[in-house]
Structure formats: structure tokens, C-alpha cells
Amino acid sequence: MRQEKLYGIYIPVITPFNKDESVNFSAVKELAKFLAENGVTGIIPSGSTGEITALEMDEQIAVNKAFIEAGHDNGIKVVASTGAYRTCDVVKMSQAAEADGADGIMAVTPWYMAPNEKELFVHYKTIHDAIKIPVMLYHNPYYSTCLMSDKFMAKLYNEGCIDAVKERQADVFRQQNLRHLTDDNFGIFYGYDVCPVETLSCWSDGWVCGTGNLFPKENSEVYHLAKAKKVEEAMEAHTKKIRPYLHLFSEADSNGDVLWLQIIKEGLKLRGVDAGYCRKPVLSELPDETMKRLKDTLKEYGYLA
């Protein structure tokens, strides 16, 4: 085990772009301050919500560095997302993140041409051996096309390739099984929104919550209640403070689209936080019907008059 075990509630923070699609580095400090003030443990820049696939490698390094500095200035931890298809690129970005002071790195499985288990083992072992800070595996088969078994993920930990995992599938049995197959030093992070109380109160060490960009206070409250084993209070908080906004990220508009990234960015702007624009091909605009739902929801929470 290297350094301190990762735990807590981490927000995979958005990347703010200017209208011309350049990175808005001045907004990074504002975003980190907003999340820190709302009780999160840390942030993960350049992840899926941070539009990792829209960033060039040098940009990803620069975005990570900016958020590392802003996060630490505001007293929160930063696990830098250094995922890429090529192992050598992940190593380069991970070493840069370590040099810039990151508290750990998160690397999603290589995408498109999904590697086999032997290739994945070598990939993560190479990354782990190249740095001295914790390595979090990001398991997201929905985006990466790479579906891993619990047994293989446990092997990666038990044989010194990773230190933690963000498990994106919503089945909480996976966290239970991973804990059974490893030990208490393995950092298990739930990576979805629907069952955090169930897993945090039993098996998981942390929660990586994308919708926490827009509702960090509510998510932080649920996290702390669940980890304190106040299960009934945590369930009530989840029902009253998280479920009411989940429709924004699950119900499609009349075109059949769920524009979750745009909803987060537009919602932050409505809350007075400069979240910038998306990078094409993602279009920043929201349909009127979705904007109305967003505004109505923020009014329910008291964040919009």
C-alpha cells in the first residue's frame, strides 16, 4: 500500500471551456472553491464528466495541474484522471500528475479495442510501477467497452497493479464481492448515483458522483451519514435530497436525448458558477423543455428564485 488509502466523496469535475473551445483556466479556481465549500473530500479532473475524450494529452496534463493547485488551495484532495488508450501516454500523464502534487491518479480502461486480461494486467502494472502515488482503476464498460470481472479486478489489486477502483456499474453486489476478494486496504469507490447508502454503509470507502458537480452539498451529506452508519438518516436524505433531481439525468427530452453534461454545466451557470461551454461534437445548448425542467428543479432546491 502506498501513501494514504483513498476514501471520501470525490466529484469528477467538469472542464470549463471558453466559447472558442479553449480551456478556461480562470474558472478552475471558482469550480474548486465551490465544491470545497460544499463539503466534498476531493475532485477528479479530466474524467468522463471532464470530457477526457475531447482533451489533447498536453491539455489533460495542464487541466490536471490547474485543478491540483486549486483543489489544494481550497483544502481538498485531487485524484487526476490520466486515462488514455496508449499505456505510454497514461504513464507520461501520471508522472506529470505526481510531479504536480496529485494525491493519486485514476485511469479508465483503454477503450474502443478492448484489451484482454493479459494486456490489462501489463497496462496497469506498468502504470503502477512508474509512480509512487495511488492508482485508481476506473471500470466503466458502458463507455470503454471493456467489461472486467470482480475476480480479475481483485487480482489487479492483490498482485500490485492498482490501489483502488471506481466501480461504475450500479450493482452493489460488485462492491461486496470486491471487498470479499481483497482486503481493507483496497479503496472501493461506488461510481453511480442510485444506491450510495447501501454500499457506503457496508463495503465501499468512497463515492465518485458526477451529479455532485451540481448538487455537492446534498451528496456530501448523504456520504457522511452513510459512512457514520446512520443508515435511516442517510436513506431519508437520499430520498429527499437526491432522488428529486435524478430525473434530470435519466429522463429523455422529446428528441430522445439525455443531455447530462449540458445539464450540469448550464445548471452550474444558473447557480452562479462559471462552468463554461462543452467541446464539439457536444453542443452546449439545451432544448427549452430541458432548460425549464432544470430551472424548476433548481427552484425546488432553493438555488434559483
DSSP secondary structure, 235-251, as one string: HHHHHHHTHHHHGGGTS
pLDDT of residue 3: 64
C-alpha to C-alpha distance for 147 and 111, rounded to whole angstroms: 11
C-alpha to C-alpha distance for 25 and 43, rounded to whole angstroms: 16
Dihedral sign, CA of 47, 40, 139, 237? negative
Cell 464528466 belongs to residue: 49
Helices 57-73 & 87-99, crossing angle to 10 degrees? 30
Per-residue pLDDT of the chain (305 residues; tens, 9 = 90+): 466 799 999 999 999 999 999 999 999 999 999 999 999 999 999 999 999 999 999 999 999 999 999 999 999 999 999 999 999 999 999 999 999 999 999 999 998 888 999 999 999 999 999 999 999 999 987 877 888 999 999 999 999 999 999 998 878 888 899 999 999 999 999 998 888 999 999 889 999 999 999 999 999 999 999 999 999 999 999 999 999 999 999 988 888 989 999 999 999 999 999 999 999 999 999 999 999 999 999 999 999 98
Alpha helices (runs of H) in the chain, residue ranges in sequence order: 25-37, 57-73, 87-99, 117-130, 141-144, 150-158, 173-181, 196-200, 216-227, 231-241, 243-246, 260-270, 288-300
- In terms of DSSP bridges, do strands 164-167 and 187-190 run parallel, antiparallel, or are they unpaired? parallel
Cell matching residue 152: 480479475
Phi, psi of 277 (to 5 degrees): -115, 170
Q: What is the pLDDT of residues 203-234, one digit of tens each?
A: 899 999 999 999 999 999 999 999 999 999 99
Model confidence pTM above 0.85: yes
First to last CA, the chain: 49
Q: What is the pLDDT of residues 129-169, one digit of tens each?
A: 999 999 999 998 787 788 899 999 999 999 999 999 999 88
Q: How many CB atoms lie within 10 A of CB 85?
A: 16
Count helices and strands in the chain by DSSP H and E runs:
13, 8
193 CB-near residues (< 8 Å, 6+ apart):
209, 210, 211, 242, 246, 249
In angstroms, the Cα distances linking 160 to 122, 132, 298, 304 are 11, 12, 44, 48
Instruction: Report yes or no: 161 and 138 within 8 Å, Cβ to Cβ.
Output: no
Phi, psi of 85 (to 5 degrees): -70, -45
Domains and CATH numbers, the chain: 8-232 (3.20.20.70)
C-alpha to C-alpha distance for 237 and 129, rounded to whole angstroms: 41
pLDDT of residue 112: 86
106 CB-near residues (< 8 Å, 6+ apart):
44, 47, 79, 80, 81, 82, 83, 136, 137, 138, 166
What are the residues facing 10 on neighbouring strands? 42, 208
